[in-house]
Amino acid sequence: MENEMNDVVVIGGGAAGLGGALMLARSRRKVLVIDAGEPRNAPAQEVHGLFALDGTPPSELLERGRRDVLKYGGRVVSGEVEGVARDGDAFAVAAGGGTVRARRILVATGLADELPDVQGLRDRWGRDVLHCPYCHGWEVRDRAIGVLATGPMALHQAQLFRQLSDDVVLLAHAMTPSGEEAEALEARGIRVVTGEVEAVEVAGDRLTGVRLADGTVVARDALAVAPRMVARAAFLADLGLRPAAHPSGMGEHIPADPTGRTEVPGVWAAGNVTDLSAQVGTSAAAGALAGGHINADLVAQEVGAAVAARRAG
């Protein structure tokens, strides 16, 4: 594939990338997906809230998506993209020691979750340490849930988990709610525990609580954490496209318009790399939408070239 020209190179083989690739392949575009094989939801056992596919293991869902893309002539290869640069009116994508070229780029590399420095937290991530009430909330309903306050979203997060259980505790950690915030927590029966959280407690491969810096252990069955989310997009630096602060304060993303078009002509973004809160279904839909707009953009270019050639005789 060295130096061959593709209509579109899709960087990232998750829901957004495969959703976009499927739309493009069905439009008879020459599309190549380069997948680093590091899906964000790999620690999770099942995907939830996805229409008609609720409870499907993430690996199975991705395998189905790859088969769909291949069925229509798209290609999916394993590799990590090191950089993307302009190459005339196209792009050169460096990956795996080689280079492929593309007329358009769809970035769907997702994000990295930066967790607070709490002992044992990462080991339980995606199991009984979670962040999204819509992804995993049902599975911890009616259980003792702790919400680790890592930023302004923690208060909102606590109220969302309160919908799922009567036993929700806000672990204040480095913040202390006051005024209307404290009143709202109290009104909903959400207890506030002050003190820095030092570690999670585990017994029999099951979270049993959290340990504060003073040695106090707060018994909990599940712990909700709002990570700082950072777009995986360092390889776009040569194009001048860098992650920017997300308006929500949740982290950094690649800004894009509702169709996925970025500020760099010819480059689109879809999924968590631009929408930090997107679930699997949302990401797949965003990829499909971006794929449709990329195809339309290519068609417009081809129409223009055909008209120019006709006028030139």
**pLDDT, tens only, 163-182:** 999 999 999 997 888 899 99
Above 90 in pLDDT, residue 298? yes
Distance, in Å, from the CA atom of 148 to the CA atom of 170, rounded to the nearest integer, reads 6
Helix (H) or strand (E) holding 293: helix 280-311
**pLDDT tens by residue, 24-79:** 999 999 999 999 999 998 888 999 999 999 999 999 999 999 999 999 999 999 99
Mean pLDDT of the chain: 95
Distance, in Å, from the CA atom of 13 to the CA atom of 199, rounded to the nearest integer, reads 34
**pLDDT tens by residue, 182-235:** 999 999 999 999 999 999 999 999 999 999 999 999 999 999 999 999 999 999
Tell me the average pLDDT across 116-134.
Answer: 94
* Structure-token match 């009430």, residue found: 133
Above 80 in pLDDT, residue 1? no
pTM assigned to the model = 0.95
- Pairing type for strands 90-95 and 98-107 reads antiparallel
Distance, in Å, from the CA atom of 92 to the CA atom of 241, rounded to the nearest integer, reads 15
pLDDT, residue 296, reads 98
pLDDT, residue 97, reads 86
Torsion sign, CA atoms 22, 298, 244, 33: positive
Q: What is the largest CA-CA distance in the chain?
A: 84
Give ∠ CA 102-26-54 in degrees, rounded to 5. Answer: 110
Contact indicator for 272, 16 with CB cutoff of 8 Å: yes
Taking Cα atoms as reference points, which of 8, 12, 22, 11 lies closest to residue 64?
A: 22
Quick one: tokens of 160?
């969302």
Above 80 in pLDDT, residue 16? yes
Above 90 in pLDDT, residue 291? yes
pLDDT, residue 286, reads 98
